[in-house]
Chains A and B, each alone.
Chain A
Amino acid sequence: MKPAAFDYEKPRSLDAAVKLLATSDGAAKVIAGGQSLTPVLNFRLAQPSLLVDVRGLPELAGVKEEADAIVLGATTTHAQIEDGRVPDPTNGLLRRVARGIAYRAVRNRGTLGGSLAHADPAADWLNVMALLDAEVLVHGTKGGRRVRASELANGPLSTVLADDEIITGVRVPKLSSAAKWSYYKVNRKPGEFAEAIGAFVIDPVRKLARGLIGATEAAPHPIADASALLPRFDDAIGRAAVSAAGFEAGTYEIQVHLGALRRAAQQVNA
């Protein structure tokens, strides 16, 4: 289908973009690569009156290295991460996940910040950044703030961002070279949104053993201390974790999420 009509602006600075959003009364949408938003516009599920294109904004591009983290600009594309054109502070997790996002033609335009702002519960970055306890950097009329990635989504396709706030980057904590990770997606076909995601990251140097139940009904469900599920996966503890993520006993959903979590646990030990 064709989208409903909208206006389009391409501001030259982050402040100008924020101003456009602030004066649009919630009727504007931010667009970068457009790979999540445009399908929604084409289906007319969203009918904004204005698109604010932030793709070329210098404030959203590039990479910054900090002592214990890497800050990836919001307009970093999935393909840039896949190809290693930006540093991966996670011992290869980001690169591997990037390769599994949709298809190459989509990854060439789709952005890290755009995927997070779209907040599809099954989207890879929303879940991976929650697993890593990354922080999402946000800028609005009142200035900048940081949001924990696990607290960004407050429902399916919904975030805690105000109407005038734009994601500018993601602060990804560095893992040590001894870190191990796993990321198990249940997909009917490569490139589709996952039906279930299970993931773990273990870092002996940072004394970290985190898990994640992803592709839930709303926000990702990180497990801050997953040591009870490792190295031997305990089915009863796993089932309790999946229940805590919002799935009801006896349903297909609990089975498929438990399966993904169990396989992720087996992979991280392998």
Chain B
Amino acid sequence: MKTIALTVNGKRVSGNIEPRTNLADFLREQLHLTGTNIGCEHGVCGACTLEIDGAPARSCITFAVACDGAAVRTIEGLEHDAVMVQLREAFTAEHALQCGYCTPGMLMTAHDIVSRLPDADEARVREELSGNLCRCTGYVGIVRAIRRVQALRHK
């Protein structure tokens, strides 16, 4: 077992973990932060996307033990974030989800797109979304929701 200390959504936390514990399982099972979903467990579906030290990352292919000292932000930590509030409203308005399983990861990636690439055109938005799989929507509503928030923030 290894002991780790890190910041999650602004709070100092610590835990005793097996080295093979991935970050998503640590968050879900020890901290009960179940907003981060686990899909494929090999880095291709994007459901587990969160932020480590300010940048999006895959928590299913990141070991918790490697996050000792890191600052992690999950979907729960973005409840009052201005961009995330706009994204949630836009996802509702554009029917950008159905079952909702991919949604936390989609929102984390959408947050990165809107923040890092404010001028991305539709083709670039689709390219940036290629690492987040949605089996329900066909992506049309998701792309529209992101474009809507881009437009709002340009006003």
Residues of A near any B CB (own CB < 8 A): 1-8, 10, 31, 34-35, 38-39, 41-43, 51, 53, 55, 79, 102-106, 108-109, 189-191
Contacts and interface: CB of A to CB of B under 8 A. Distances in A.
Nearest to B60: A42
Nearest to A102: B131
A34 B61 contact: yes
Interface string B37-56: 00001110010010010011
Given A2-B20, A189-B130, A42 B63 contact: no
Given A5-B18, A7-B19, A105 B66 contact: no
Nearest to B65: A8
Given A55-B66, A106-B58, A42 B131 contact: no
Contacts of A190: 127, 130
A245 B45 CA distance: 33
Contacts of A55: 66
Contact of A191 (B58, B109, B130): B130
Contacts, number: 84
Contacts of A1: 41
B15 to A, nearest CB: 14
Contacts of B127: 190
A105 B57 contact: yes
Interface string B109-143: 10010000000000000011011100000000000
Interface of B: 2, 18-20, 22, 25, 41-43, 46, 49, 52, 55-58, 60-63, 65-66, 68, 109, 112, 127-128, 130-132
A43 B19 contact: no
B42 A42 contact: yes
Given A6-B19, A105-B131, A106-B131, 9 more contacts: A8-B65, A31-B66, A35-B43, A38-B61, A38-B63, A41-B20, A42-B41, A105-B109, A109-B57
Contacts of B49: 105
B130 to A, nearest CB: 4
B55 A4 contact: no
B127 to A, nearest CB: 5
Contact of B43 (A2, A102, A108, A189): A102
